[in-house]
Structure 1
Amino acid sequence: MQREYYSGNRRNVYAELKKGSLVVFFSGDDIRKSADECYDFFGNRNFLYLTGIEEKGLVLLAGKQDDGEVWEKLYLRTPDPMAERWSGSRIKDKEASDISGIESFGYDSNFATDFHSLAVSGKYEFLYADSFKESTSDIDTSVHHFLRHVQAAYPYLKQENANLILRKLRTIKQPCEIEAIRKAEAITGEGIKAMMKASRPGMYEHQYKAEFDYVLGQYGTEGSGFPPIISAGQNNFCIHYYSYKGQAKDGDMILNDVGARWKGLVNDVSRGWPCNGKFTEKQKLLYNCALATSDYMFEVLKPGFKMADVDATAKKYNFEQLKEVGVCKKFEDIGTYMWHGGAHHIGYDCHDMIKRPEVVVPGMVFCVDIGIYHEEWGIGFRIEDNCLITENGCENLSRNIPRTIPEIEEYMMKNNTYLF
């Protein structure tokens, strides 16, 4: 991404602020894993969206004055040669400016003093921050500790929710974001095809994952956009399966729900295939029902379609397919075979943080996710593709990844040296 992209994102945020406001964003901190070990750092997605920088311990502080003028300052970690010898160099102001377009910098050791001066200056009435939690059990982060301190020390600052502003802005993808998603789609496709090439009865789930991870590693260090879901046989009936301990038996379906990350943007694609490269008649029957439903959704999705109707339409159409082949007799029983919703937005998160729209509009990117789980037959899979809403309809961004039965069987027959 160009620095103008991040500068533009910040301008859009500042435009939504009330006059007389401060706004603060934190990049995030390490999370303890065990003893002296921390989990790999994963930066706050909104901070990344606004700055392009993914490094722990940074703070973006900005102010919108009563006359509407805006200033901004990025607080970097104080240089520490000894610490940097162990854990790598810390970003400096020149590099941070080249990435983000920010021109004013300070160090983390000065942030508290600077904020105090602003808070007591009488120039600011509001404070915006992003203190989102998915669950009340989520751990507190820097922003939560900071806001508690602000509430106690500066109770006259009225706290406002910056998360709502970012959700609104992230709903519509910009051209450079769409291009990044396209690149992520291409990498994901190569990873899925690598698993198809290697697939065979007796292969372990962790070996499928190793094939996928290897491909992603050839394209840089961003890797997977979320923990890959890769399962075989009965493990396909766990929707979010991360164990990778199972072994594919002859005739088992391989389910994978995966996506690469590129320039911070992710995609989310699901494909299913028999580990031996040949669909059984029952597998074909169910797979074609899901495929027909997916194809139908890509025919009808266009600007003006109600977002709330996406899941309902997919469920109704899939029911008609399953009813026609004698699997599901009445609509009330569709939950026996469809276990999850059929759409979620993607972007900087797999389940992207957006403001849920009433209708779809050009520039939105979300998944069309059709799953069928027939426990009696031992067949579970999903077909998930990424949908870009265009001016007149939509585009299937992951269409080039083998998805029909002939495409999958032909690809495996031509490329899988274990089976053919």
Structure 2
Amino acid sequence: MKYDRIPSKLFIANRSKFIQDMQPNSLAVFNSNDIYPISADSTMPFQQHRDIFYLSGVDQEESILVLFPDAKDEKHREVLFLRETNEHIAVWEGEKLTKEAAFEVSGIKTVYWLSQFDTIFKTLMAEAESIYLNTNEHLRANTEVQTREDRFIESCKEKYPAHIYRKSAPIMHKIRSVKERTELELMLHACSITEKGIRRILPFIKPGVYEYEIEAELIHEFVRNRSRGFAYTPIIASGKNACVLHYIDNNNICNDGDVILLDVGAEYANYASDLSRSFPVNGRYTQRQKEVYNAVLRVKKFAETLLVPGTVLAEYHKEVGLFMEKELIQLGLIDQTDVKNQNPDWPAYKKYFMHGTSHYIGLDTHDVGPWNEPMKAGMVFTCEPGIYIQEEGLGIRIEDDLVVQETGAPVNLMATIPIEADEIEDLMNS
């Protein structure tokens, strides 16, 4: 791995939190992701399933974690199963975790090779009354592809039909949403890499540069700082492209007079950062562009004041929408008649600000977390209002990542990344 080893105490603490919410005499199973094929012998780069990583720190394919806190044999209360390594694998694929190395990473003492899983699991299931299965219950999940976890769930239910089956997702969503100090440090590091990328491209952006050239500059800076690369598919959208919310072609030329919207972020140690900035291609905003930019920035600053314990996301988004409504009226984009005649299910402001303001972020860019419960200290949210004016070919989005505090304002993990319009212009023209 490119990143420095994470202290095993993080994963020990995470397992302890999960176990506290388990029912008596239950075990839980977490599988790694597959390496997904493209065609012939080509594959996509491996990325670990975030849940097994969160609980063990194991960042390797063909791995299984079993938690059984009430197991009669103490050594079977936390068990890792790993693909057995050998000299051939070391030569062709590189070093894999040994049992000793797996303990150093995870703090789990009992490590078996994967070939032993069926036999040992059968013994554990004979003791257990129920089993937690790790289904993907993220609200935005696309579940068309069958995963290694899915195959295990099918097999388990077929072999052990008499057990009680429970869901690990509600527990994982709760505990993953509140970050430990070590996690916040990793996320801050990911944000610092993103800042390096932004400061690299500010003097690079000029009329005539292609969007993909900016993407290339960013990936260079991210990887040279020990990131795997982008935490998600980057959006580098100049001119009218910025009005396409998920524009990812990044293949157009940046023209004089346009604003370029960047929604990019580096990952570090599987933790994501998520940044949006909107820069003038020629280094100077027009008066209209600056008006719209500053309106978005005011909405963002207002929204940040609501990221405090006790806030419920559904109400938060409504309040931000009402503030945005006032800004759009001042910009002449909507008027009081539009507001009076609006559909309550799709308010007038949605014509120019059609997405939400915040989402959880952590191991996933759109991280898991409870959507209908009050915010808690230690939760991390994006804050990303935007205004998209198709008739003007102008899209502005501004986004940072913020940590909810026990009291007071949230901590901005991206506070040192340029955000004020005047500062951006100065940096682009220095």
TM bin, normalised by shorter chain, reads: over 0.9
Name the counterpart of 2:28. Answer: 23
Deviation at 1:137, TM superposition (A): 4.5
Instruction: Rate the CA distance shift 1:118–1:304 in 2: closer, same or farther, 3 A.
Output: closer
Assess if the C-alpha contact under 8 Å between 1:298 and 1:396 holds in 2: no
For 1:126 and 1:352, how far apart are their aligned partners in 2?
27
Partner of 2:393: 378
Alpha carbons 1:388, 1:396 under 8 Å: kept: yes
1:318 pairs with 2:334 = no
Task: Give ranges in structure 2 of 5+ residues lacking alignment.
Answer: 1-5, 343-347
Structure 1 position 4 matched with structure 2 position 9? yes
The alignment's TM-score, normalised by the length of structure 2, stands at 0.92
Residue 87 of structure 1, CA deviation: 1.4
Aligned length: 412
Q: Secondary structure at the match of 2:385?
A: strand
The partner residue of 1:165 within 157, 164, 171 is 171
**SS of aligned partner of 2:397:** strand
| In structure 1, C-alpha distance between the alignment counterparts of 2:379 and 2:59, rounded to whole Å | 25
Q: Please tell me the residue identity of whatever aligns with 1:88.
A: G
| 1:402 has 2:418 as partner | yes
Following TM superposition, by how much is the alpha carbon of 1:298 offset from its aligned partner in structure 2, in angstroms?
A: 2.2
In structure 2, do the counterparts of structure 1 residues 146 and 95 end up closer, same or farther at CA, with 3 Å as the change threshold? same
Where 2:398 maps in the other structure, the secondary structure is strand
Could you tell which deviates more after superposition, 341-350 or 238-247? Answer: 238-247
Letter in 1 for 2:28: V
Q: Distance in 1 between matches of 2:196 and 2:38?
A: 32
Please give the root-mean-square deviation of Cα atoms over the aligned residues, in Å: 1.7
What amino acid sits opposite 2:405 in the alignment? T
Write the mapping of 1:4-403 to structure 2, written as runs, cut at 5 A.
Answer: 4-65=9-70, 71-119=77-125, 121=126, 123-132=127-136, 135=141, 137-329=143-335, 330-331=338-339, 332=342, 333-393=348-408, 394-403=410-419
Counterpart secondary structure, 2:29: strand
SS of the residue aligned with 1:166? helix
SS state at 1:198 partner: coil
SS in 2 for 1:315: helix
Q: Is the 8 A contact 1:19 1:68 kept in 2?
A: no
Distance 1:67 1:316, change over 3 A: farther
CA shift in 2, pair 1:99/1:410, >3 Å: same
- 1:296, distance to aligned residue in structure 2 (A): 1.5
Native 8 Å contact 1:237 1:373 kept in 2: yes
- Where do 5+ consecutive residues of structure 1 fail to align? 415-420
Give secondary structure in 1 for the equivalent of 2:381.
strand
SS of the residue 1:33 aligns to? strand
Residues 11 and 142 (structure 1), Cα distance of their counterparts in 2 relative to 1, 3 Å cut: same
User: Contact 1:84–1:90 (CA<8 Å) still a contact in 2?
Assistant: yes
Q: Distance in 2 between matches of 1:301 and 1:150?
A: 42
Deviation at 1:293, TM superposition (A): 0.7
Shift of the alpha carbon at 1:136? 6.3
Moved >4 Å (runs of 4+): 66-70, 133-137
SS at match of 2:62: coil
Opposite residue 317 of structure 1, the aligned amino acid is F
